[in-house]
Amino acid sequence: MASMNVSLPQYISQRWQGSNDSLRYRRLVPADCQRAIGLKVWTKTWKAGTSLERIEIEAKGLAFKHDNEIKGARGQIVTEEGTDTIESLVSKIIAMGDPVRYAVVSRLSGVSDDDGREVHRQAFIGALKDDDGKVPVTSIILSEAMDLDQKNNADLRAEKPVRDAVVDFTKFAGDIDVAAISHGMVVDWKVARLEKQAPATVKRRMASLAAMIKRTYRYHGIKQDNPFADHRFPKIDKRAGRVPLNKTMFAMLDLYLAESNSLDRQTRNMVNIARNTLTGAKEIAGLTIADLKLDDSIPHMVIRVNDVRTLKNAHRERSIPLVGVALDAAKDALKAAQARGDDTGPDSTPIFLGYSSTRGADTLSQKMTLTLRDAGIPKSPRLTGYSLRHSLKQALRASGCRDHVQHDLMGHASRGVSDDYGTDANLEEKRDAIVAALPHLGAVDDDKYCEAERV
């Protein structure tokens, strides 16, 4: 880096981090402007070896830009002087012949430049120390940190939990520099996610992010608190297992499925199939065109091993009649799948796109659970998409359905010696059992729920 006995521009100071340091621009956003601007501090860091002339030009450009942002936030007239000055600074950068640096400054004046995306990660928040250094800390955005972490630690951890957590957080906060993530930002994300997901799910994702950021900080020598560490989560009554939905919850779900403008067609069909068929997420996710037998005298679907999925065990292979909303949903889903025009053949063409991957069933399960949350059903690890299967199972019992028919519909092994005699229930028996069970759907006493689960 150039000698430090040179007068530096306004808002420029030396930033210390581990054994490395660099020059950076750091300017606090006035308190009365933070809400309008959406930031508390502006920062930018330059690599070691960057000439002071270049730093001075870019720092002046940033200062002019931020002066105008402050004026705009305060409702004052933004003068043209700042814009004109920035344009002249851009010309100087072009004259220096550095296209990457030009891209940085071009963003200050609103000039569109694809190269600007490559350098849109110059935000650091950390401790300062007046000392000379050798090599600056390289900025890295969250998605790049995740990819590097996977490359360096692939044999030590699973990729999907971290990737899901990163995708979830970036949807909320953007794909920002890891050193610019504040504790407050993470708290806001946590609160938003707890509105949609169970505390256990959010806690797992927080733990994945905390572990990845810890490794990233160690790798880059970043010395600051991990914003994903040391967060508290609400406690909930952890009674064993899932619980079925009651009639009030089903009414809320029916209303949401019928009237929501934000719910996509595919999710609506998946939820309606799940509620009347005793199927799990993996079984629905793996349905192909060949699995829907809608033209038979008793419309039904076949749960089997096919080209896009396996099954938990041999007992899960079965035929399930389709009645009510499940039949309507299956017809609509089949129509949509056929309209796509896939030429892979009926055995390989999935009914629902995007869920045929190894972990597709997990994604579907999460999506169905989020649908329950959006319908207003309380957040609880016992009230999830899988509760739809438990709900119809409870209704079958309440209707007096015979055990062997229940086992066949559920895909469970027989539980008694007598069950090993005779044949499986036929489609007519199973259809009649489901039809008889539907009036009992949701007949659940309030004492089955803890206080936080009641509606």
- Residues 92-123 have pLDDT tens digits of 555 554 444 444 444 444 434 443 333 332 32
CA 433 to CA 207: how far, in whole Å? 44
pLDDT over 60 (residue 424): yes
In sequence order, the β-bridge partners of residue 15 are: 22, 128
The pLDDT of residue 127: 23
176 vs 180: CA distance, rounded Å = 7
Average pLDDT over every residue of 54-63: 76
Mean pLDDT of 386-408: 93
Confidence bin at 1 (pLDDT 50/70/90): very low
Q: Mean of the per-residue pLDDT values for the chain?
A: 78
Buried (b) or exposed (e) across 348-383, using 16+ Cβ within 10 A?
A: ebbbbeebbeeebbbbbbbbbbebbbbbebbbbbbb
For residue 174, the tally of other CB atoms under 10 A from its CB is: 12
Q: What is the pLDDT of residues 319-370, one digit of tens each?
A: 999 999 999 999 999 999 999 877 788 888 999 988 866 667 778 888 999 9
What pLDDT score does 201 carry? 82
| Position with higher pLDDT, 12 vs 445 | 445
**What is the structure's pLDDT at 99?**
45
pTM: 0.51
Q: Of 301 and 32, which is predicted with more confidence?
A: 301
Give the pLDDT mean for 371-393.
Answer: 92
Residue 50 or residue 383, greater confidence: 383
Summarised one tens digit per residue, pLDDT across range 200-252 is: 788 889 999 999 999 988 887 777 889 999 998 876 554 446 899 999 999 99
CA–CA distance, 47 with 66 (Å, rounded to integer) = 22
Q: How distant, in Å, are the alpha carbons of 224, 240, 280, 333 from that of 268? A: 45, 29, 15, 10
